[in-house]
Chain A
Amino acid sequence: MKNVSIPIGPQHPALKEPASFSLALKGEKIMGSTVRLGYNHRGIEKGCEDRSYIQALYLIERICGICSHAHSTCFVMAVEEIAGTEVPKRAQYIRTLIAELERVHSHLLWLGVAGHEVGFDTLLMYTWNDREIVMDILAMLTGNRVNYGINTLGGVRRDIADAEIKEILSAIDKLEEKTKYYIQIATKESTLIKRLAGVGILSREDALKLGAVGPTARASGVDRDVRRDDPYLAYGDLDFKVITDNHCDIYGRTLVRMGELMETYSMIRQLISKLPAGPIVAKMPRKIPAGEAIARYEAPRGEDVHYVKANGTEKPERVKVRAPTLANIQTVAKMLEDRYLADMPIVVAAIDPCFSCTDRMIETRAVGSDNASTFSWGELRKYSIEWYKNKGIDFEVLNAKRGKR
């Protein structure tokens, strides 16, 4: 039988973000694969060179909608190192707290996506429902569900009140219970185990050779975690285990992420009990003295690396970002080798890829017009309701039918 080459992507229902795969198939077996990325390249590194540090911080936050705090914290740590700014302890703790809450939402999101990709949509509904608990906490603490904007140069922009701490703790208790239930499902539900075990195999040797990071690497027995190995923020003060697993497959990756959630809950409790008093921001100069720094950050998907070079002006000379997916995507071809086509969505999903992020600026242009106009939230809502009405969909009628206002 001859090999058949099929393109998948860049836009495809199996993947929620653009990436293009070309698979060589023999029957249903994948004989080889190549991946094409870059559909979401927005020139953010170049963009930073044209912006002041504080503007660049907000742009950097928008690299990704899932792990936005990872990017903004990594960037701001590098800038603060160059400026020699001592960030107040309380700010470090708040940053760490948001970082761990972000990990909770990201891992729960992943579990739901993984469930969806293997046809277990009940799991998607359950996990994403529970994820709302942590999303509400993030919204309460920062004002935003995503792209929190909590970081500023020299510290954080919002303090935490005692009443909020109570809410965090009760949310964590709830989430811990739910996570225990998911661990039970993951380790006992035979249909799920059969679908995940032995799929997407990445040996320890390959994980090391191909530079895998995060849960993808740790599920192949690679004991690496920047939070422990290269401590930053408040991680040096915390007591936690780095979760690893030797299954080397998607089942292992599931166990690692679930185990990490349990560790994260304990870390959040430690952070709250040790939360120091004091200021939340230190003064930073507008002009950052010439110098360079590289920061590493254990994002939910793995090690995030930001390199910043300053030239003494208000704008950075060079900003370089290496997001964890860029490291992990190189392992996908290995995982797909000799597997079945039907495994492809879950294998790709198992590295928890994050090819792009959200773009929040709403600027509209009528076709053929140069006039840009900006909508307020209320106007945009009104516009979209009108737009659907013209298409024959009236939300008022629909809501009335559903017994709502």
Chain B
Amino acid sequence: MEIENYIVQNLVKQFNVAPDQVKVKRDRRIYVKVDKDIFLKVLDFAINNQKFDILCTITGFDEGDTFGVMYHLAQEKGIMLNIKINIGKKNAILNTITGIFPNADIYERELADLFGIKVEGLKDGIRYPLPDDWPEGQYPLRKDWKVGGNA
């Protein structure tokens, strides 16, 4: 847990993260919530300064008024850093991180298809995972979307 706590200290020092926004939940699992405006800086620090150079996946959440987006990063040595940001539901826009992690492409397309989050900077490509004739404005992973009651 020593290394994990050290990483947390670094994050707190560097970005003024409030202590209740960052947690080491068990060995090798760190969770941190940051403001969306500083996210790219935190990401850059995590990769280049703390060696979190693996992107496992990206998870989206429908949290009522906002969307949550969690980036699951990992170090080669097994420690995971889960960075969460929140974005407004109206005008939900996210910046792509494909410039840093090319493999984020398909995870970001998933967010776009299933939550209706617009990912800025994502180059034109094939949608994933919904079919081409999926009705517009239907986002299955939003909480108000019910199976069988929509399309």
Q: Spell out A's residues near B (CB within 8 Å).
A: 34-38, 41, 43, 45-47, 50, 81, 208-211, 224, 226, 229-231, 292-294, 296, 303, 305, 307, 309, 318, 320, 322, 326-327, 329-330
**Residues from chain B with Cβ under 8 Å of A296 in the complex:** 56, 74, 80
Q: Evaluate contact between A46 and B106: CB separation under 8 angstroms.
A: no
Q: Evaluate contact between B126 and A34: CB separation under 8 angstroms.
A: yes
| In the bound complex, CA of A401 to CA of B122 (Å) | 62
| Cβ distance B13 to chain A, nearest Cβ, rounded Å | 25
B1 at the interface (CB under 8 A from A): no
| In the bound complex, CA of A210 to CA of B31 (Å) | 24
Chain B 62-82 against A: per-residue CB contact (8 Å), 1 yes, 0 no?
000000001010101110101
Q: Could you say which of A38, A46, A327 contacts B128, with CB atoms under 8 Å apart?
A: A38
Query: Beyond A307-B59, A327-B103, A330-B103, is A230–B72 a contact (Cβ under 8 Å)?
Result: no
Q: Evaluate contact between A307 and B72: CB separation under 8 angstroms.
A: yes
Most buried by B among A50, A318, A329: A318
Q: Could you say which of B26, B74, B147 contacts A81, with CB atoms under 8 Å apart?
A: B26
Q: Evaluate contact between B141 and A46: CB separation under 8 angstroms.
A: yes
Q: Could you say which of B54, B78, B107, B130 contacts A41, with CB atoms under 8 Å apart?
A: B130
| In the bound complex, CA of A324 to CA of B28 (Å) | 21
A-B contact pairs, 14 of them (CB 8 A): A35-B126, A36-B128, A38-B128, A38-B131, A41-B130, A46-B145, A47-B147, A50-B147, A208-B53, A229-B77, A292-B31, A293-B29, A318-B61, A326-B106
| In the bound complex, CA of A303 to CA of B55 (Å) | 12
By beta carbon, the residue of chain A nearest B80 is A294
| In the bound complex, CA of A34 to CA of B125 (Å) | 9
Q: Spell out B's residues near A (CB within 8 Å).
A: 25-26, 28-29, 31, 53-57, 59, 61, 70, 72, 74, 76-78, 80, 82, 101-103, 105-107, 125-131, 140-141, 145, 147
Query: Beyond A229-B77, A292-B31, A330-B102, is A303–B130 a contact (Cβ under 8 Å)?
Result: no
**Residues from chain B with Cβ under 8 Å of A209 in the complex:** 102-103
Query: Beyond A45-B141, A50-B147, is A230–B57 a contact (Cβ under 8 Å)?
Result: no
| In the bound complex, CA of A337 to CA of B46 (Å) | 32
* Interface of A, helix, strand, loop or mixed by DSSP: mixed
Q: Evaluate contact between A43 and B140: CB separation under 8 angstroms.
A: yes
By beta carbon, the residue of chain B nearest A303 is B56
| In the bound complex, CA of A81 to CA of B59 (Å) | 18
| Cβ distance B117 to chain A, nearest Cβ, rounded Å | 14
The 5 closest A-B pairs by CB, nearest first: A211-B103, A38-B129, A322-B57, A230-B78, A229-B78
Query: Beyond A322-B57, A330-B102, A330-B106, is A305–B130 a contact (Cβ under 8 Å)?
Result: no
| In the bound complex, CA of A329 to CA of B129 (Å) | 13
Q: Evaluate contact between A46 and B125: CB separation under 8 angstroms.
A: no
| In the bound complex, CA of A36 to CA of B72 (Å) | 24
| Cβ distance A87 to chain B, nearest Cβ, rounded Å | 14
| In the bound complex, CA of A226 to CA of B25 (Å) | 19
By beta carbon, the residue of chain B nearest A321 is B57
Query: Beyond A46-B140, A307-B72, is A210–B103 a contact (Cβ under 8 Å)?
Result: yes
| In the bound complex, CA of A41 to CA of B114 (Å) | 11
**Residues from chain B with Cβ under 8 Å of A303 in the complex:** 56
**Residues from chain B with Cβ under 8 Å of A37 in the complex:** 106, 128-129
**Residues from chain A with Cβ under 8 Å of B55 in the complex:** 211
By beta carbon, the residue of chain A nearest B126 is A36
**Residues from chain A with Cβ under 8 Å of B106 in the complex:** 37, 326, 329-330
Q: Could you say which of B31, B70, B147 contacts A46, with CB atoms under 8 Å apart?
A: B147
Q: Evaluate contact between B130 and A38: CB separation under 8 angstroms.
A: yes
| In the bound complex, CA of A70 to CA of B125 (Å) | 31
